[in-house]
Amino acid sequence: MNGRPRILSLDALRGFDMVWLIGLAAAVRAFCGTFPGGEEWWLARQMHHCSWEGFVLALGAFCFAWLFLWLLYRAKIFIKA
C-alpha cells in the first residue's frame, strides 16, 4: 500500500453488493420457501426481479446515476492523490 488510507465504508458497501450479486437473494428466497406461505412474505417478494421491458429511460435511473457521480466527486475529498 502506498500510504493512502482506504475508505472502509466503501469497501463494506462493495462487499455487501457482491454478496447479493453472487446469490444471497436466491438463498433468502429458498429460506422463506421453507415456511408455510413463505413465498408471499415481503422479504421473499423483494428478491424477485421485474420482467425486462427493454431499455427505458427512467427518471429514477437518471437520478441514481447522477447521485452516484456526485458521491464519487464528494469522496475525492477523503482521497489524497
pLDDT for 73 beyond 60:
yes
What are 33's three cell numbers? 420457501
Distance CA 63, CA 79 (A): 25
Hey, how many other C-beta atoms are within 10 angstroms of the C-beta on 32? Answer: 19
Question: How far are the Cα atoms of 2, 35, 45, 46, 81 from residue 50, in angstroms, in the given order?
Answer: 43, 24, 11, 10, 41
User: pTM for the whole thing?
Assistant: 0.46
pLDDT for 79 beyond 80:
no
pLDDT of residue 2: 66
What are 78's three cell numbers? 477523503
pLDDT tens per residue across span 29-66: 888 889 898 888 888 888 777 777 776 667 777 778 88
Distance CA 33, CA 36 (A): 7
